[in-house]
């Protein structure tokens, strides 16, 4: 069985690698095709000029240079090449290359003009494809990842001026302009024939409406199962809707799953950077986590760290210490206790109402106890602004640089400042102990949301 799994994994890897090579080649050609067409057209023009000049010289007929140029240009429209006598190789090659280049350029121009009509033709033949509603950064990443795995993808986007539309089309996706809550648009995208529908629009209500309309469409085609993933921004609401969907049950033709990138991101972050070691006995000391910024990601981190603690270490009868820093930390703490009733029993939650830009934060008295000893074991920074998050990490790292305490910084993207952190980490510079976690790249992965259908998280505290 193990060898069989290895063979399947190896086959999938080769398949994905082959698709990736084809896609990269297509993207490269789309980027540079007009440069190559221009070069080939220029070379063809030179060949035609030389060919005509040699031909007319051989028959003793003199023509001006402009005549040779004019005859060469006519080759592109299938003119001036009908010479019955024996031709030299330059002219022979030019009169075949020129119309081929002209025809290719014309077809490319027509494809741009009739792009929508061509996409409709492609749509008619699609089966078991992916429909993605909303072309935000999440939608773009999902589109790229599914295409990389060999799935055909149809994107529905409301804003026709969205600058990601061209990128997704070049990548190989079909993009429809329209409102994803409109049943006609969903039908146009082939939802009734699709395998997965992923709604990542910027509003929870919109994503829920897309799911409701998709369910209604699927009910008319019970020969095929559609799995719909609706993104819900609020992690707590996502948990509640998920539990509600489990209670009501799934139909034979439609499956609805709610997901939240902050919830998935928190779990992934704790896997990549565990809050504590499972080998520790915690007889003399215990983990003490510091979470800076208690937004959606911070809330999910508290919840999943506490869940992990109770699941593994409840036998020690010790609470997990978590210090949270936020502008409205006290309010956040009360909300967390209300949302997760068992949290107070599992965690010692310390709330510090501090602005990260304030002098109090830069003094960082919260890092040290009465004996001026730092008992923080891991720091997670979950601020919405990447620049501010990195600045905060550098400030804390400077204060505890001799303590060897990991500082994990949640970044929106795995580019820009996150790239800087990785480079500096390899060079072992003053960024040592600071680690970047790219939220969108890490969470907008097909395998993560598809796994939700099989592995629902254990919501022990709801």
d(CA 224, CA 53) in angstroms, rounded, equals 66
* Position 18 confidence tier, pLDDT thresholds 50, 70, 90: low
Express each pLDDT in 25-40 by its tens digit: 776 777 788 888 899 9
pTM metric for this prediction: 0.73
H or E element: which one contains 385?
none
Per DSSP, what are the bridge partners of residue 258? 230
State which fold the 116-259 domain adopts.
Rossmann fold (3.40.50)
pLDDT at 457: 43
Q: Which of 234, 363, 206, 230 is nearest to 303 (CA)?
A: 234
| Cα pseudo-dihedral 183, 186, 187, 193, rounded to 10 | -140
Residue 455 has pLDDT above 60, yes or no: no
Give mean pLDDT, residues 175-197. 93
Fold agreement between 2-113 and 266-446: no
Region of 130 on the Ramachandran plot (φ > 0 left; ψ -120 to 50 alpha; else beta):
beta
CATH of 2-113, one of 1.20.950, 1.10.287, 1.10.1760, 3.40.50: 1.10.287
- Parse the chain into domains and list their residue ranges: 2-113, 116-259, 266-446
Give mean pLDDT, residues 376-386. 93
Judge: domain 266-446, CATH 3.90.78.10.
no
């Amino acid at each position: 069985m193990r060898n069989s799994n290895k063979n399947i994994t190896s086959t999938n890897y080769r398949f994905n690698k082959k698709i990736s090579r084809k896609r990269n080649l297509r993207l490269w050609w789309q980027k540079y095709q007009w440069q190559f067409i221009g070069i080939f057209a220029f070379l063809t023009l030179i060949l035609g000029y030389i060919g005509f000049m040699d031909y007319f010289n051989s028959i003793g007929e003199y023509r001006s240079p402009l005549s040779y140029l004019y005859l060469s240009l006519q080759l592109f429209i299938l003119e001036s090449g009908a010479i019955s006598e024996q031709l030299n190789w330059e002219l022979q090659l030019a009169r075949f290359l020129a119309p081929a280049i002209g025809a290719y350029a014309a077809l490319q121009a027509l494809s741009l003009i009739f792009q929508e009509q061509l996409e409709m033709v492609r749509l008619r033949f699609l089966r078991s494809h992916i429909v993605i509603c909303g072309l935000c950064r999440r939608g773009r990443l999902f589109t790229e990842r599914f295409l990389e795995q060999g799935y055909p993808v149809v994107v529905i986007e409301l804003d026709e001026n969205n600058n990601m539309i061209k990128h997704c089309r070049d990548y190989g996706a079909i993009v429809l302009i329209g409102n994803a809550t409109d049943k006609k648009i969903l039908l146009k995208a082939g939802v009734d024939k699709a395998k997965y529908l992923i709604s990542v629009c910027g509003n929870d209500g919109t994503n829920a409406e897309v799911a409701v309309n998709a369910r209604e469409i699927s009910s008319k085609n019970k020969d095929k199962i559609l799995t719909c993933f609706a993104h819900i921004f609020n992690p707590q609401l996502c948990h509640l809707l998920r539990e509600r969907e489990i209670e009501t049950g799934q139909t034979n033709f439609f499956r609805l799953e709610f997901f939240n990138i902050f919830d998935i991101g928190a779990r992934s972050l704790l896997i990549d950077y565990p809050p504590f070691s499972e080998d520790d006995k915690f007889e003399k000391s215990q983990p003490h986590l510091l979470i800076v910024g208690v937004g959606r990601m911070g809330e999910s981190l508290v919840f999943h760290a506490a869940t992990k603690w109770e699941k593994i270490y409840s036998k020690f009868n010790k609470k997990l210490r978590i210090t949270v820093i936020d502008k409205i930390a006290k309010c956040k703490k009360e909300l967390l206790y209300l949302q997760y009733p068992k949290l107070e029993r599992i965690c010692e939650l310390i709330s510090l109402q501090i602005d990260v830009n304030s002098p109090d934060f830069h003094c960082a008295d919260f890092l040290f106890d009465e004996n001026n000893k730092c008992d923080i074991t891991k720091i997670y920074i979950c601020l919405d602004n990447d620049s501010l998050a990195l600045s905060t990490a550098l400030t804390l790292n400077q204060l505890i640089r001799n303590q060897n305490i990991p500082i994990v910084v949640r970044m929106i993207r795995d580019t820009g400042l996150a790239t800087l952190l990785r480079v500096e980490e390899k060079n072992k510079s003053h960024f040592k102990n600071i680690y970047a976690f790219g939220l969108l790249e890490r969470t907008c992965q097909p395998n993560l949301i598809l796994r939700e259908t099989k592995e629902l998280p254990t919501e022990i505290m709801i």
